[in-house]
């Protein structure tokens, strides 16, 4: 920190901040320089070590823009139509460390403080002046949006939309917000991508700044770390660089003091070093988080669970809903429903409402209403009402009303009273909270106490999308409220929705909802792998989960070792965690649980060891290439590329799964197992040499029948090696599969 301050003092004495009036402006920190013309256009952005120009050629755009949702100046609204209108900067000067901008067709003068630092240059909209002419009807008019900086960058190989960074192997250019109230966006054009930073009156017009840096790709996190330190942000860089960052987690379900030790044993068997407690296991509902009867000692029981997790060498985390209140929570169902729920729309009663009326007449057209089941909820004073339908012709009305729902009391309401159409979650067990009130802080304080008292160390922000507009602000605003209440700060966090400022909070991106075993590869390719490649451009990983654990049944083939091979190998390729949803009854009854947990363990250990060959790691990223990992002596492993031989099928009479691999000596390895239990296969006679191994490489003796057929046991994973090319070996093994004979339990 002292070195940074000394460098800053030296740089401040030598940096070029401007020139005389009517001259072009150059702002530089020694690593890059930004050029602005005297007529308010962005002219250059040069990476000084190489002299490379980072702007797209022949693209002239104003450095700054004022937007009004309609023209407000008297003469302007007489000339221009009533729609949003932008006024570009047309004059730029420097006065000390302040960039002063004027604009076409408006009388505003914007003042932007420029803060030159060794790692970045900061821009902060601090003040606004206004010229009043001596003719016409003039006043200081409104300003709705202010684009304080926009940069048309030339295309590069990678664009991180979340972080707002354009980069390749030589240069990275980023324009990032320095406050959660800064709107950061981009426009992708045919010949350029424009990065922009904006403030909005509806959120905060002044003191919502941005930072610009141009640097080498391997210095991006160092630049972001300096920004996080200077602006007192959550330390997203420190989280990403932590040794704990890539660790996968075991997500508990229905955990109590009676079963936590069994869960810990399973997590350790899978090589998982972090463990998540889901709040519905201990809390009746989100909001007040009252204790479930399974936790008779309340916090003491939850703390003991976390203590046992830590004593086992695992890191405990918590999975929460935090931006909404359950309809079963005292916020809603105590007879006096809280009035700080988010509102979709508001209506004025046009007639009095009696306590037993089933129709409610309103002044306004009920156009913006939620009609899904459970979401047709009105609040009138202390009464909650579920309506059935709406009348959109005058007289407007809500009809088929069910009065006094969620323990509220049906009551009369006077004409001109307000009816609030509440923002019920699309999972209609919750009502979203109004982020402009103090209820989010109340919920955050409760969660912060649970987090600190029990010793949780990371968090999953579920339901992050469940906030009112503007989403770019309220998504991270609500997360930040809770994050700041958690002490010590989480090692890392994930969430269901990300916004720009959330990059500092959600250092591990997100998980996806669970996919069925039969569709898990397809879904991974369509969503998770695409997301992994995308957020890698943002210097972030994604969670390769949630992975639901299902045993085979008449409805599913269940999770199988090859599926965990696919998920975990791709997670390793992208330096990402996985998350295993621990359905313990399913885990306990699955005949291949040992094989499944071993697959997770092997890949997780290799990932954390960080010793994999980079060329192999790149191969693992290919969505259509599959690999398995075999344990060998001395803790070593062998990785084989494999191809699926048997189809995904619910055919219970033929549950053998098999994958082939071409060995370097020309032989074929067939990795096979019985997905449902224990059976026997009969391999026809062949002159080719055949050997059988356990999955960890121990040679097994193969029995033969009286006809010379080899009898192959099928239960846990085994490796059959046949001295034949893959095509011939596959044909031979398919014949063996056709002889499938299940063993009875007593065998």
Q: First vs last Cα of the chain: how many Å apart?
A: 70
In a domain, 296, yes or no: yes
pLDDT in tens, 350-392: 999 999 999 999 999 999 899 999 999 999 999 999 999 999 9
Q: Give me the mean pLDDT over the 576-582 stretch.
A: 97
Q: Which domain CATH number covers 25?
A: 2.70.98
Same domain membership, residue 296 and residue 260: yes
26: which strand partners? 35
DSSP characters for 350-368? SS-B-TT-S-EEBSS---S
In a domain, 311, yes or no: yes
pLDDT recorded at residue 11? 44
Q: Which residue has the tokens 């009875």?
A: 744
pLDDT in tens, 669-689: 999 999 999 999 999 999 999
Cα separations in angstroms, 309 against 255, 263, 481, 642? 12, 9, 27, 36
CB 186 within 8 A of CB 559: no
CB 119 within 8 A of CB 100: no
Same domain membership, residue 185 and residue 101: yes
Query: Which stretches of 17-68 are assigned E, i.e. beta strand?
Result: 25-28, 32-36, 42-47, 52-53, 65-68
Full-model pTM: 0.93
CA distance 397 to 360: 5
pLDDT in tens, 270-291: 999 999 999 999 999 999 999 9
pLDDT in tens, 681-724: 999 999 999 999 999 999 999 999 999 999 999 999 999 999 99
Same domain membership, residue 701 and residue 651: yes
Q: Which of 459, 476, 504 delimits the end of a domain?
A: 504
CB 89 within 8 A of CB 101: yes
pLDDT in tens, 115-129: 999 999 999 999 999
Q: Which domain CATH number covers 285?
A: 3.20.20.70
In a domain, 121, yes or no: yes
In a domain, 700, yes or no: yes
Q: Give me the mean pLDDT over the 20-32 stretch.
A: 86
pLDDT in tens, 50-104: 999 999 999 999 999 999 999 988 888 889 999 999 999 999 999 999 999 999 9
Q: Provide the domain limits for residue 725.
A: 645-742
**Among candidate residues 464, 495, 564, the one with its CA nearest the CA of residue 524:** 564
The token pair at 707 is: 């006809």
Q: Which of 464, 481, 504 delimits the end of a domain?
A: 504
**Among candidate residues 227, 221, 251, the one with its CA nearest the CA of residue 239:** 221
CA distance 268 to 605: 11
CA-based radius of gyration for the chain: 31
Cα separations in angstroms, 258 against 264, 295, 308, 451, 549? 12, 11, 12, 22, 21
85: which strand partners? 68
Three state DSSP letters for 116-130: ECCCCEEEEEEEEEE
Same domain membership, residue 633 and residue 657: no
**Per-residue confidence at 12, pLDDT binned at 50, 70, 90?**
very low
The token pair at 265 is: 């044993």
Residue 521 CA neighbour count, 13 Å, CB half: 17
Same domain membership, residue 347 and residue 223: no
pLDDT at 294 over 60: yes
In a domain, 427, yes or no: no
The token pair at 10 is: 């030296």
CA distance 505 to 322: 15
In a domain, 242, yes or no: no
Three state DSSP letters for 258-313: CCHHHHHHHHHHCCCCEEEEEHHHCECCCCCCCECCCCCCCHHHHHHHHHHHHHCC
Q: Which of 626, 643, 660 delimits the end of a domain?
A: 643
Edge to edge, the sheet with strand 544-548 lists: 493-495, 458-462, 315-321, 274-278, 249-251, 578-581, 544-548
**Among candidate residues 243, 646, 322, 366, the one with its CA nearest the CA of residue 497:** 322
CB 617 within 8 A of CB 609: no
Same domain membership, residue 638 and residue 523: yes
Cβ neighbours of residue 271 closer than 8 Å, sequence gap 6 or more: 597, 600, 601, 602, 604, 605
CB 698 within 8 A of CB 716: no
Same domain membership, residue 495 and residue 365: no
Same domain membership, residue 551 and residue 452: no
CA distance 300 to 320: 19
How many separate domains does the chain show? 5
152: which strand partners? 194
CA distance 615 to 606: 15
The DSSP symbol for 59 reads: -
CA distance 52 to 424: 52
């Amino acid at each position: 920190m002292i070195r940074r301050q000394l460098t800053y003092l030296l740089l401040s004495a030598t940096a070029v901040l401007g020139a005389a009036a009517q001259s072009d402006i150059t702002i530089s920190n020694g690593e890059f320089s930004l050029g602005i013309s005297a007529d308010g256009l962005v002219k250059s952005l040069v990476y000084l070590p190489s002299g490379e120009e980072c702007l797209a050629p022949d693209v002239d755009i104003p450095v700054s823009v004022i937007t009004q949702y309609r023209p407000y100046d008297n003469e302007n609204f007489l000339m221009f139509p009533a729609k949003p209108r932008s006024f570009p900067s047309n004059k730029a000067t420097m006065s000390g460390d302040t960039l002063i901008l004027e604009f076409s067709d408006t009388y505003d003068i914007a003042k932007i403080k420029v803060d030159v630092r060794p790692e970045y240059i900061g821009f902060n909209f601090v003040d606004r002046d206004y010229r009043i002419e001596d003719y016409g009807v003039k006043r200081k008019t409104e300003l709705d949006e202010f684009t304080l900086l926009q940069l048309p960058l030339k295309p590069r190989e990678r664009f991180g939309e979340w972080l707002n960074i354009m980069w390749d192997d030589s240069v990275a250019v980023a324009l990032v917000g320095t406050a959660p109230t800064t709107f950061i966006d981009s426009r992708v054009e045919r010949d350029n991508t424009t990065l922009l930073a904006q403030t909005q009156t509806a959120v905060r017009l002044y003191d919502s700044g941005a930072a610009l840096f141009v640097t080498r790709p391997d210095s991006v996190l160092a630049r972001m770390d300096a920004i996080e330190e200077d602006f007192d942000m959550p330390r997203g860089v420190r989280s990403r660089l932590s040794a704990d960052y890539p660790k996968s987690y075991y997500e508990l379900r229905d955990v109590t003091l009676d079963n936590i030790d069994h869960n810990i044993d399973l997590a350790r068997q899978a090589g998982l070093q972090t463990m998540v407690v889901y709040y519905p296991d201990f809390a009746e509902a989100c909001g007040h988080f009252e204790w479930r009867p399974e936790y008779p000692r309340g916090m003491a029981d939850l703390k003991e669970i976390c203590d046992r997790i830590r004593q086992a060498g695992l890191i405990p985390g918590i999975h929460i809903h935090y931006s909404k209140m359950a309809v079963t929570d005292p916020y809603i169902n105590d007879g006096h429903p809280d009035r700080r729920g988010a509102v979709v729309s508001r209506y004025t009663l046009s007639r009095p409402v009696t306590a037993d009326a089933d129709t409610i007449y309103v002044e306004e057209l009920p156009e913006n209403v939620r009609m899904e089941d459970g979401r047709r909820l009105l609040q009138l004073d202390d009464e909650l009402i579920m309506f059935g339908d709406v009348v959109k012709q005058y007289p407007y009305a809500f009809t088929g009303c069910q009065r006094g729902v969620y323990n509220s009391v049906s009551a009369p309401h006077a004409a001109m009273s307000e009816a609030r159409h509440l923002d019920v979650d699309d999972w209609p067990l919750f009502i979203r909270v109004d982020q402009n009130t103090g209820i989010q802080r109340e919920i955050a304080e409760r969660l912060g106490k649970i987090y600190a008292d029990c010793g949780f160390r990371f968090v999953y922000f579920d339901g992050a999308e469940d906030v009112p507009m503007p989403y770019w602000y309220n998504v991270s605003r609500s997360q930040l409220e809770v994050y700041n209440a958690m002490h010590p700060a989480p090692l890392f966090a994930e969430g269901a929705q990300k916004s720009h400022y959330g990059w500092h909070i959600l250092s591990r991106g997100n998980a996806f909802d669970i996919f069925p075993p039969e569709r898990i590869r397809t879904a991974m390719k369509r969503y998770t792998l695409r997301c992994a490649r995308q957020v890698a451009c943002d210097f972030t990983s994604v969670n390769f989960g949630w992975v639901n654990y299902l045993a085979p049944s008449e409805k599913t083939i269940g999770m199988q070792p090859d599926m965990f091979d696919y998920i975990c190998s791709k997670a390793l390729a992208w330096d990402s965690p996985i998350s295993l949803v621990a359905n313990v009854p399913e885990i306990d009854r699955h005949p291949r649980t040992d094989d499944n947990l071993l697959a997770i363990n092997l890949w997780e250990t290799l990932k954390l060891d960080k010793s994999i060959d980079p060329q192999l790691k790149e191969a693992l990223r290919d969505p259509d290439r599959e690999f398995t990992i075999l344990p060998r002596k001395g803790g070593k492993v062998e990785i084989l590329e494999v191809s699926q031989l048997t189809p995904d099928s619910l055919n219970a009479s033929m549950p053998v799964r098999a994958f082939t691999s071409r060995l370097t000596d020309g032989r074929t390895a067939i990795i096979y197992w019985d997905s449902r239990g224990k059976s026997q296969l009969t391999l026809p006679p062949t002159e080719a040499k055949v050997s059988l191994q356990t999955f960890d490489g121990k040679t097994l003796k193969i029995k033969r029948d009286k006809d010379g057929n080899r009898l192959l046991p099928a239960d846990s994973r085994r490796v059959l090696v046949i001295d034949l090319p893959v095509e011939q070996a596959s044909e031979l093994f398919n014949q063996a599969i056709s002889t499938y004979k299940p063993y009875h339990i007593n065998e």
